[in-house]
Amino acid sequence: MISRVNSIFLMGLDGYILDIEVDIQNGLPAFNMVGLPDAVIKESKERVRSAIKNSNLEFPKGKVLVNFAPASIKKEGNHLDLPIAISILKACGYIRGNIEKDIFVGELALNGDIRRVRGLLPMIIEARSKRFKRVFIPIDNINEVKMIDGIDIYPVNSLREVIDYLNGEIQLDKVLTIKYDITNVKYGIDFNEVKGHSFAKRAVEIAASGFHNILMYGPPGSGKTMIAQRIPTVLPYLTYEESLEVSKVYSIVGALKDESMIFYPPFRNPHVNVSTNSLIGGGTVPIPGEVSLAHNGVLFLDEFTEFKRDALEALRQPLEDGIVTVSRVKAKYTFPAKFMLVAAMNPCPCGYYGSEIKECKCTELQIKNYLSKISGPILDRIDIHIELSPVKFEELQDSKDEISSLEILKRVIKAREIQAKRFKNDGILYNSNMKSKHIKKYCRLDSDAEKLLENAYKRFNMTTRSYAKILKISRTIADLDESENIKSNHIAEALQYRKLDGTLLK
Amino acid sequence: MSLEYNLWFFMLKINRRIKREIMNLNITPKEIFNKNLDELVYMGIDIITAEYIVKNKDLKPVEEIIKQMNKKNFKFVFMTDEVYPYLLKSIEDAPIGLFYIGNIMLPKQLLAIVGSRRATNYGKTIAYKISLELSKYNIGIVSGMARGIDTEAHNGAIDSNGFTIAVLGSGFNNIYPKENIKLMNKIIDNGCVFTEYLPDVKPFSFNFPERNRIISGLSNAVLVVEAGISSGSMITVNYALEQGRDVFAVPGDIYKEQSKGCNKLIKEGAKLVDTTDDILEEFGIRNNTKKYNIELDEYEKNIINYINEGNLTFEQIKLKCKYETSFLLSKLTILECKGIIKRVYGGNYVIIKS
């Protein structure tokens, strides 16, 4: 008596179809598993046995062998309880229906109930792409899959329910899919709550348009965190495809709870104590880290200099490639990590270097040590540098309405559209992704602009790298201005976002 | 070679006052080297010193130093040499000799700019600005190459291709502070760096007050930009007064530690300096440059007028002139490129040329 049931297992972000074969032969009672199951799957023996018995069914009295195919890849996950049970019951002849085009996912409780699992969304997407007809999922996971169409999804409560349905004794309701809808997404915060800081807001507008990384420094209380928190509100809402990428990541770490999908650009602000692995992704079976949770959104590192150096250095690959690769002996796991880095820091350990309010008590050596925690390569990947100073009283008094997130967002969307049109054959999305060949092709300066840049290059002791940065930022500013060529005022504005020369932050 | 003997005499561990007295006997170090004990005593040198001199007629350490001088390209000037700075020669405790790198043909008019190492943006800007402008009138800027005011004073002179002089408190093998080595290389392009100390001397804290007498001694006048009540700059001022040099001071915020020294000096009679003209007047030079000989449009002039009221942040300027953010940003860059304003830490824009 042999049966075969389909399920799915995950490697990184991708689901793979898995065959669960059960063979029951006469002999001394035994329950064995082959095909590289991990500890969680091996333990499922007992859950499956109890669940079957407590569903008023009989566990076969013979030699039960479960095989997971493909046999060479290590599988893990608690979600294979249900398919194992189904496969055993099928082999025993309890299930009469055809289940060749079905997928089962779920963890079993001892009484036969089905519990929620992690990573359901990528599994369903794989099932759909492999043209399976039906998927049975734990009822608690129902929110996660509400927006997936093209496959019938049946949320189930218990093992008994699945069997009765498959035998045609009861009817089950499919998940009703709802449309991906972002019109009602609202943030609790808005840029019009930020008084003054028009310079910073403009910098954020540019950063959001061209997906540039941004570094803010200034004394405590100058509004760095307040501004950073509002950056997602000026990023365009996620498209369905973008949202799917992000939601998959959230599904894998089990962070999709009440929401069906992530509609808005995520905002992550890990604590300074974060380990390299939890920032980048890791674990024996790697799961995505903060950089992937911030995919298509903002990774905000407050107190940038206080992070562990290793953790910061590990940001280099994702900042450059937009993906993270975690290598294990058996496999390589790749997670998406295309995020906008927003870093905030004080200019010195006490925070008041250059400030008019309070005198800085730090020695040059202290400041040097403090700043040297951020390496050149990381600073090089941050295009926009701005200095914030606390809001002055006269700015608070100014009764003029502050610009709202929506106004900024409208301009950002326009600039993004221009970029999408320009880069459609280049395999990049934003101005910040431009490599030197793109810069050469797309950053054409008019003669005034060229003259200004040449002058500035000499006066501000610029390097070739900062030169490229200025061009990228000016391209974004020109896009915001809907200008084909880069004009001198675009270059001039871009120069204000350069690294400050002087003894600090060299 | 008189250099060897000069250096030998310079390196003798004898009080500077006694060395000067010996030199007043109109005798060269070479002659001293060749004389025996009796002859030295006969000349009027006291017996202890004479014995010491005779015992230490060893030129080996001197050769070592000369080797280093050749390798590292620095020179030595002895107090009887013609090129020895003539203003310095006149002070009471003039150095017996000086090591130097760069051009020893100093300008006739020299101004020392001294001040706090922990200067504010205000002080730094003023030091830079005054130095920048005075350099155009061939006034050399003397300072100590320390952090803060000193650095800015040198930078100002360098940026207008003027002559600037740094006097160090350590030997040439121990440049202090290290981050100013780059600055030193710029100074010696068109200026001079002096030190009284042997190459291996470390920057001991007691060197600096001693070094300060050379800063004031080299100069016609001393300008104090920001100084605390009991600071190194005040020591320089005391030397300057002893040496009969003029003392100028820039007034500052009465609540700030860094300005208390300056304000006290003004109270005691130092000349208050708030424009470059105040100094030019003392040097007997007439200011002949027109204001803003650079072309500016209406907006730029407006912005400058606002910043002139005091150092302002971007937000404050915007509030006053009410220009669009991006427009104002680009105008500020253009003014920076024209060298009229500068962005400094704290997010402030300051005028560096008026």
For residue B73, pLDDT over 80 is answered with yes
In the listed set A151, A166, A181, which residue is the last one of a domain according to the structure? Answer: A166
pLDDT in tens, A97-109: 889 999 999 999 9
Smallest CA–CA separation between A309 and chain B, in Å? 24
pLDDT in tens, B323-340: 989 899 999 988 888 888
| Cα B303–Cα B306–Cα B311 angle in degrees, nearest 5 | 110
The pLDDT of A147-160, averaged and rounded, is 92
* DSSP structure class, residue A157: S
Preceding amide of B177 cis, omega within 30: yes
**In B, residues 253-282, which contact A (CB 8 Å cutoff)?**
256-257
Q: Are residues A157 and A198 in the same domain?
A: no
Confidence of residue A68 (pLDDT cuts 50, 70, 90): very high
The pLDDT of B106-126, averaged and rounded, is 90
Q: Do A354 and B313 touch (CB under 8 A)?
A: no
Q: Do B326 and A197 touch (CB under 8 A)?
A: no
Q: Do A398 and B319 touch (CB under 8 A)?
A: yes
A394 contacts in B (CB within 8 Å)?
A: 316, 319
For residue B26, pLDDT over 90 is answered with no
Least CB–CB distance from B315: residue in A199, A356, A490: A199
Least CB–CB distance from B315: residue in A198, A452, A455: A198
> Residue A429 falls within a domain, yes or no?
no
Least CB–CB distance from B315: residue in A197, A460, A489: A197
Q: Are residues A254 and A399 in the same domain?
A: yes
CATH code where residue A147 lies: 3.30.230.10
- Rounded Cα–Cα distance for residues B300 and B333 (Å): 10
Least CB–CB distance from B345: residue in A198, A394, A504: A504
> Residue A272 falls within a domain, yes or no?
yes
Strand intervals (E) in A339-482: 340-345, 384-387
Can you give the residue range of the structural domain that contains A77?
2-166
Q: Do A500 and B343 touch (CB under 8 A)?
A: yes
Give residue A502's pLDDT: 44
With CA atoms as reference, the chain B residue closest to A480 would be: B326
Q: Are residues A393 and A447 in the same domain?
A: no
| Cα A58–Cα A64–Cα A65 angle in degrees, nearest 5 | 145
For residue B319, pLDDT over 90 is answered with no
Amino acid code (one letter) for A192: N
> Residue A377 falls within a domain, yes or no?
yes
Tell me if chain A has a CB within 8 Å of the CB of B315.
yes
Smallest CA–CA separation between B276 and chain A, in Å? 24
| Cα B280–Cα B282–Cα B285 angle in degrees, nearest 5 | 40
Q: Are A202 and A234 in contact (CB under 8 A)?
A: no
Strand partners, A135: A103, A153
Q: What share of chain A is helix, strand, coil (3-state, %, to 5)?
A: 40, 20, 40
Tell me if chain B has a CB within 8 Å of the CB of A364.
yes
Give residue B255's pLDDT: 87
Confidence of residue B346 (pLDDT cuts 50, 70, 90): confident
Q: Are A64 and A31 in contact (CB under 8 A)?
A: yes
For residue A504, pLDDT over 60 is answered with no
For residue A375, pLDDT over 90 is answered with no
Tell me if chain B has a CB within 8 Å of the CB of A459.
yes
Confidence of residue B292 (pLDDT cuts 50, 70, 90): low
Give residue A505's pLDDT: 39
For residue A185, pLDDT over 60 is answered with yes
**In A, residues 215-274, which contact B (CB 8 Å cutoff)?**
218
The pTM score is 0.79
Residue position matching structure tokens 């700019």: B113
Give residue B240's pLDDT: 94
Smallest CA–CA separation between A488 and chain B, in Å? 8
In the listed set A131, A166, A201, which residue is the last one of a domain according to the structure? Answer: A166
Give residue B290's pLDDT: 55
- Rounded Cα–Cα distance for residues B69 and B76 (Å): 8
**Could you give the number of structural domains in chain A?**
3
| Whole-number percent of chain A with pLDDT over 90 | 58
pLDDT in tens, A416-433: 999 999 999 988 889 999
B346 contacts in A (CB within 8 Å)?
A: 353-356, 387, 389
Smallest CA–CA separation between A387 and chain B, in Å? 6
pLDDT in tens, B203-229: 999 999 999 999 999 999 999 999 999
Give residue A114's pLDDT: 95
Closest CA to A275 of A314, A304, A248, A236: A314
Q: Are residues A218 and A333 in the same domain?
A: yes
> Of A12-16, B242-246, B309-313, B321-325, which gets the smallest average pLDDT?
B309-313
Give residue B256's pLDDT: 86
Q: Do B345 and A388 touch (CB under 8 A)?
A: no
A500 contacts in B (CB within 8 Å)?
A: 343, 345
Tell me if chain A has a CB within 8 Å of the CB of B302.
no
For residue B112, pLDDT over 90 is answered with yes
Q: Are residues A264 and A391 in the same domain?
A: yes
Burial class from Cβ neighbours inside 10 Å (0-12, 13-18, 19+) for residue B189 reads exposed
Q: Are residues A196 and A161 in the same domain?
A: no
For residue A506, pLDDT over 70 is answered with no
| Domains located in chain B, CATH noted | 1-72 (no CATH), 109-282 (3.40.50.450), 298-351 (1.10.10.10)
ipTM: 0.81
User: A300 phi and psi, to 5 degrees?
Assistant: -105, 120
Q: Are residues A315 and A394 in the same domain?
A: yes
Residue position matching structure tokens 């976002």: A497
Selected residue of A495, A497, A498 to mutate for chain B interface (largest B Cβ count, 10 A):
A495
> Residue A418 falls within a domain, yes or no?
no
Q: Are residues A310 and A361 in the same domain?
A: yes
> Residue A271 falls within a domain, yes or no?
yes
Smallest CA–CA separation between A386 and chain B, in Å? 9
pLDDT in tens, A332-356: 889 999 999 999 999 889 988 877 7
Q: Are residues A441 and A393 in the same domain?
A: no
> Residue A171 falls within a domain, yes or no?
no
Preceding amide of A266 cis, omega within 30: no
pLDDT in tens, A5-38: 999 998 888 889 999 999 999 999 999 999 989 8
Q: Do B315 and A395 touch (CB under 8 A)?
A: yes
The pLDDT of B240-267, averaged and rounded, is 92
Q: Are B7 and B28 in contact (CB under 8 A)?
A: no
In the listed set A364, A386, A405, which residue is the last one of a domain according to the structure? Answer: A405
Mean model confidence pLDDT for chain A: 89
Q: Do A389 and B344 touch (CB under 8 A)?
A: no
> Residue A413 falls within a domain, yes or no?
no
Q: Are residues A131 and A60 in the same domain?
A: yes
B256 contacts in A (CB within 8 Å)?
A: 359
The pLDDT of A272-300, averaged and rounded, is 92
Q: Are residues A106 and A208 in the same domain?
A: no
| Cα B61–Cα B66–Cα B71 angle in degrees, nearest 5 | 130
Smallest CA–CA separation between A489 and chain B, in Å? 5
B312-313 vs A287-288, strand pairing mode: unpaired
Q: Are residues A339 and A246 in the same domain?
A: yes
- Rounded Cα–Cα distance for residues A143 and B278 (Å): 78
Give residue B354's pLDDT: 60
Closest CA to A93 of A57, A128, A121, A117: A57
End-to-end CA distance of chain A: 73
> Residue A137 falls within a domain, yes or no?
yes
More confident residue, A42 or B291: A42
Confidence of residue B291 (pLDDT cuts 50, 70, 90): low
For residue B199, pLDDT over 90 is answered with yes
CATH code where residue A495 lies: 1.10.8.60
